Structure 1
């Protein structure tokens, strides 16, 4: 197969992603986890059930603590997601598995019965598309559950063709497991039959779910799969459906990886912002990390980076910033204003709290009285701006750190003179007043810029503005073209100019 060189589906760049952990989002049909246990679910050895208003309990049994969320519950809550304004749903695994996270898959072709059925999944896909949204599904191809029938057969029969699906160190008891976990044996993709079974074959896992109507995949631990395999996955998916996307989880700097897939769920920018908040990076160091993105990656790769606010693998933002609550709007603003696709983990929009796994996987809080209204207002406004402002979705970036080192400031702009925004963040405890010269042709004199949050207005004069940023203030300054309606860099000239 020839590697493709195109930039992939552009719709990803216009997305606001909403990540759902199905077991903890909603239960359909007005039922409870106890009702479902009465139907025979959650009865395996070690399984426990908890009511929706309880919290996950850390410990050895945390992966078998069930709250009852399912696909029907997600479908019933689609109006909520429509109102929120997100347009791409990302589901973590829902396949047959002994655990609540389901990254240790037993059967990639089967919906876990506690989550529903294949029919329930297809109804969910249909409903999501009817709402004008898309859906990508999480899939862990690096490893399977040690209860997967193929692995069980490989261990039972030394002559089985499935033995080479895995890497045994001392057959049958020692084998390569993901991060050393024996419950998740790694697949051996050096075996062409493994590649055929999971990726390229006519009856492969990827082809199966594309036939069910999904709009793409998020590949768990893509850095463990490696760049060549990720390119093959992307090329295979693109051959089947050119409009489907492949996104990979990469913990490190996304350079190189971004060329092997359509989007990268990277922790790089998030880690840089957190390092700054914790005092491990100064403003100069944070500027350098941001420059690593805008200065070293092509634009289409920048726009495909997933700017995650949180996830099922990290503490929730309100909890993470408990000692720095004044920097909450800075963190959220960076996720939406910086190049890339904002990814909202379920409940973050309402300020849900929770520490490390499993506390960050608590059931969704549906009562508005439990919501942090300041957080909700902040997310509502940023999502609205993302929908309205094309420069935030697909614009280039001009970093301004060389002219205002006290602030994090940058311009997002498109090729159209009216489509630009100036993002300004003061992440310090001191007010900042600075004369800022803007290296951008369309900030003409007498034009007013207005902050999308406070309504504060700033006048441009000869390409410069005077900024007054309060401690910890976040602002997005937008041009008010009404302030100079007779001025334009793109006036149509319909008559030829005659030189006499």
Structure 2
């Protein structure tokens, strides 16, 4: 979707690492038919959009090194399977976003196999090639590591060739060079195929800030202008969310041409706050980021998450403490934006790096031999000894699963929480950094949200200008049920306050 066009944006999104979600055929690998079998589960949970990690043919377990942009990884299924998944999702009102990798391909992609043959090959210009003298002259033989790439030496040998190719993430993933008009035409065809011919609803765009290398980085924003026009031509309602793993100031200009970007600053701030039990003035920082984003796009979408497939799972970040796992969800689903849940967060899955162990199989049942549970990896963190499976959590009203489900329902039914455009957020200052409090104003019904980040009970007083907010519409604190009767909040608890029933329409704020 062109970044200046409003649309019915899905509110609750769900990231699926396909290999680890659900196995339909007993080969130990999650697949598209497995996801189809769980569409009713996702719909019942309240999911409105699914982001699928890459589904194209690829030699790796994660599939971020694409061999063919027009086909489905055979381990995951067929194009017919994908079309059935798309139709099943749409029948339930669920959008499908594909992970589109435009920064690089696999070295096994036919383009690169041709490019590496000779300097005269027409595909040579699809990638970045330099000899050592050119690399040294530009001073680009080394780079500083970043959150999204630990590679220090990004230039890689091509046997028998005096030129090296550039691969930011790994020698098996050479970066594409969009100075090539022929390559741009190829990308346009790929976008049109998936949006127009197949009918997907949008793309999650991998490594968006790296689509041009660091020495040519000013071209990246120009590329996304080109890309946005292609998307608009293929499907004016398609949605784009970019992975711009950087600080807010660098992220903001990408909103010119993308509908959304993931808010990594918020993700890491929430993790620090949950560990320390202290607020970092996150509401003031969020408001400042919103003011910056809207300079580039008044209809920006703030894509928010706790963690994703490249980060250690929030359950492990907070030491497996169920109360903190629930608190993390309470914060995420009451802040403005478009929340993305990483599969398994709703059952408290655990995971620490290296990467395969933050992508472990979903626990559907307590059966150790559950055939729908992928077995491609022996899990180290999410096991039947450490995490309660979904089947048991569904029968426990106090479970992480029911906490998520209740919060998602609240998010979708309270207009103050579900507003995405023009984020409605103001700080509520309670004079204690153990408390995180904010105001979500709305014409229908405004809300005050208070979280106790700390390990001890804390006193608080609702400010005078919010004194009519006495009705509790959500609480994880046993001290409070339907009405605010105490000025204390239990550790790691949250309450959401609405105007009391006696408040007149004129008093509602």
On whether the aligned pair clears a TM of 0.5, the verdict is yes
* Pair 1:397-2:425 in alignment: yes
Following superposition, the deviation at residue 488 of structure 1 comes to: 1.8
Q: Distance in 2 between matches of 1:428 and 1:189?
A: 49
Q: Distance in 2 between matches of 1:174 and 1:76?
A: 46
**1:422-451 deviations in Å (ceiling 9; x for gaps):** 111111233332333265xxx575x63214
Q: Distance in 1 between matches of 2:96 and 2:294?
A: 26
Secondary structure of residue in 2 paired with 1:268: helix
* Pair 1:385-2:410 in alignment: yes
Secondary structure of residue in 2 paired with 1:95: coil
Q: Is the 8 A contact 2:475 2:493 kept in 1?
A: no
1:412 to 433, 436, 440: 440
2:455 to 429, 439, 450: 429
Unaligned runs of 5+ in 2: 132-157, 212-219, 367-387
The alpha-carbon distance between structure 1 residues 5 and 138, as it changes in their structure 2 partners (threshold 3 A), is: closer
Q: Distance in 2 between matches of 1:479 and 1:396?
A: 17
**1:88-144 deviations in Å (ceiling 9; x for gaps):** 011111101111211100000111122111111111111111111111100110000
Secondary structure of residue in 2 paired with 1:89: strand
Q: 2:472 maps to which residue?
A: 450
Q: Is the 8 A contact 2:49 2:95 kept in 1?
A: yes
The alpha-carbon distance between structure 1 residues 477 and 402, as it changes in their structure 2 partners (threshold 3 A), is: closer
Largest Rg, 1 or 2: 1
Larger relative contact order (CA 8 Å, sep ≥ 6): 2
Alpha-carbon RMSD? 2.7
Q: Distance in 1 between matches of 2:78 and 2:108?
A: 20
Following superposition, the deviation at residue 419 of structure 1 comes to: 2.0
Q: 1:174 maps to which residue?
A: 164
Q: Distance in 2 between matches of 1:301 and 1:266?
A: 17
Q: Distance in 2 between matches of 1:86 and 1:301?
A: 26
Paired positions, count: 432
Following superposition, the deviation at residue 458 of structure 1 comes to: 4.8
Secondary structure of residue in 1 paired with 2:90: helix
Following superposition, the deviation at residue 290 of structure 1 comes to: 3.2
Q: Is the 8 A contact 1:71 1:120 kept in 2?
A: yes
Q: TM-score, structure 1 length as denominator?
A: 0.80
* Pair 1:209-2:194 in alignment: yes
More strand per residue: 1 or 2? 1
Q: TM-score, structure 2 length as denominator?
A: 0.78
* Pair 1:245-2:239 in alignment: yes
Q: Report the more deviating stretch, 300-309 or 96-105.
A: 300-309
The alpha-carbon distance between structure 1 residues 308 and 159, as it changes in their structure 2 partners (threshold 3 A), is: same
**1:209-242 deviations in Å (ceiling 9; x for gaps):** 0120100000001111232222322232123211
Q: Is the 8 A contact 1:293 1:302 kept in 2?
A: no
Following superposition, the deviation at residue 146 of structure 1 comes to: 0.4
Q: 1:298 maps to which residue?
A: 294
Following superposition, the deviation at residue 295 of structure 1 comes to: 4.8
Following superposition, the deviation at residue 298 of structure 1 comes to: 3.1
Secondary structure of residue in 2 paired with 1:247: strand
Secondary structure of residue in 2 paired with 1:355: coil
Q: Distance in 1 between matches of 2:428 and 2:40?
A: 40
Q: Is the 8 A contact 2:427 2:439 kept in 1?
A: yes
**1:131-183 deviations in Å (ceiling 9; x for gaps):** 1111110011000000001100111133211001111123646210023x210
Q: 2:491 maps to which residue?
A: 471
Q: Is the 8 A contact 1:310 1:348 kept in 2?
A: no
Following superposition, the deviation at residue 401 of structure 1 comes to: 3.5
Q: Is the 8 A contact 2:271 2:306 kept in 1?
A: no
Secondary structure of residue in 1 paired with 2:411: helix
The alpha-carbon distance between structure 1 residues 272 and 113, as it changes in their structure 2 partners (threshold 3 A), is: same
Q: Distance in 2 between matches of 1:312 and 1:362?
A: 10
Q: 2:181 maps to which residue?
A: 192
Q: Is the 8 A contact 1:26 1:364 kept in 2?
A: yes
Q: Is the 8 A contact 2:472 2:495 kept in 1?
A: no
The alpha-carbon distance between structure 1 residues 278 and 452, as it changes in their structure 2 partners (threshold 3 A), is: closer
Q: 1:489 maps to which residue?
A: 506
**1:29-67 deviations in Å (ceiling 9; x for gaps):** xx211xxxxxxxxxxxxxxxxxxxxxxxxxxxxxxxxx3
* Pair 1:264-2:261 in alignment: yes
Q: Distance in 1 between matches of 2:281 and 2:268?
A: 12
Counterparts of 1:285-434 in structure 2, within 5 Å, are: 285-298=281-294, 304-322=301-319, 326-356=323-353, 357-367=355-365, 370-371=389-390, 374-394=399-419, 396-401=424-429, 405-414=433-442, 416=443, 418-434=444-460
**1:389-426 deviations in Å (ceiling 9; x for gaps):** 11111151111247554421111122x1x322111111
Following superposition, the deviation at residue 20 of structure 1 comes to: 0.9
Q: Distance in 1 between matches of 2:311 and 2:491?
A: 27
Q: 2:63 maps to which residue?
A: 102
Unaligned runs of 5+ in 1: 34-66, 460-464, 492-500
Following superposition, the deviation at residue 303 of structure 1 comes to: 6.4
